[in-house]
Amino acid sequence: MRSLRAARTLLASRSFLLSSRALHAAAASPAAGRWGNAPPPPPTPCPGPSSRAGIAGAVSFSLTFATVAVAEVQAKERLPTDLLPRNVVLYQYQACPFCNKVRAFLDYHDIPYKVVEVNPLSKKEIKWSEYKKVPILTVDGEHLVDSTDIINILQHKISPDDEVTNEEETKWRKWVDEHLVHVLSPNIYRTTSEALESFDYIAKNGNFSYTERFAVKYAGAAAMYFVAKKLKKKYNITDERASLYDAANTWTEALNGRNFLGGSKPNLADLAAFGVLRPIRYLQSGKDMVEHTQIGEWYQRMEDAVGEPSRIPEGQYPE
């Protein structure tokens, strides 16, 4: 993980610098003034073998400690092979917040999954299903629907003896589903240019023909622009960006100084919030959110913790 390697390098450099300063502290003249006008101190003898060994030990210990500390906060929650769900297929829209909730859970637990991008206009990829919304997740042929139910079922499969959630976790998972997601569409599709920006992303990530890409981008953007206006009215949103910033600040306050709502590692509420925000992070609305609130540091920690997608690249699907 790039962030982990960078953290190791930085911490190792700092440890070496601090060790070197400690070795030379005795050589600094107490008479040296603020402007450095005092005569230079006498030369300091080179450290002997035992001192060099001490430096190496200090650096080694510091790097090892830092590596363990960073890994504890950032590592994925990988599952034992016997607990890994098999033949996992996610039917999704690339920019759907609820689909991204499921993907965040799968990625964090390093569960391999295949993706089928659903055409949001024709929905031909899910004609076989009576349920006509996404996400739909199939696990060993079992069809699961509704992002929260999917995550609860998967959590029980991988941790059958654990409580699914605690009171705080339940409260904030509900807040994500009932509040946070509702401020997203009015922001993503706030203007025609922002709507086109979002659907350009969807069209490029879907396995669509040129004609389908064109239709998805322009017809989809136009439709969602008007849908967003209706949602804005439905949820009494007067200022789209202000509502987004308020939601981001509410989440940050809930952390109460912790790295994650779950403490030293993400819990299901962290994964839910991160998941629904992930599709907007690098759109204009997401950039504005990070610039005008304090949520960026938590979001970066979540990116590091969730890590690289466990999605199986197209063309590498098992037979």
- How far apart CA 302 and CA 101 sit, in angstroms, is 13
- How far apart CA 307 and CA 105 sit, in angstroms, is 11
- How far apart CA 246 and CA 263 sit, in angstroms, is 23
Catalytic residue among 91, 96, 108, 208: 96
Active site residue 46: no
Active site residue 93: yes
HSE on the CB side for 311, CA within 13 Å?
16
Question: Which residue, 129, 156, 160, is CA-closest to 143?
Answer: 129
Catalytic residue among 93, 105, 108, 245: 93
Strands (E), 23-154: 88-92, 114-117, 136-139, 142-145
- How far apart CA 177 and CA 36 sit, in angstroms, is 61
DSSP character at residue 65: H
> CB of 41 within 8 A of CB of 29?
yes
Catalytic residue among 16, 65, 98, 282: 98
Structure tokens at 247: 């939601």
Catalytic residue among 61, 91, 99, 131: 99
Active site residue 208: no
Active site residue 16: no
Active-site amino acid positions:
93, 96, 98-99
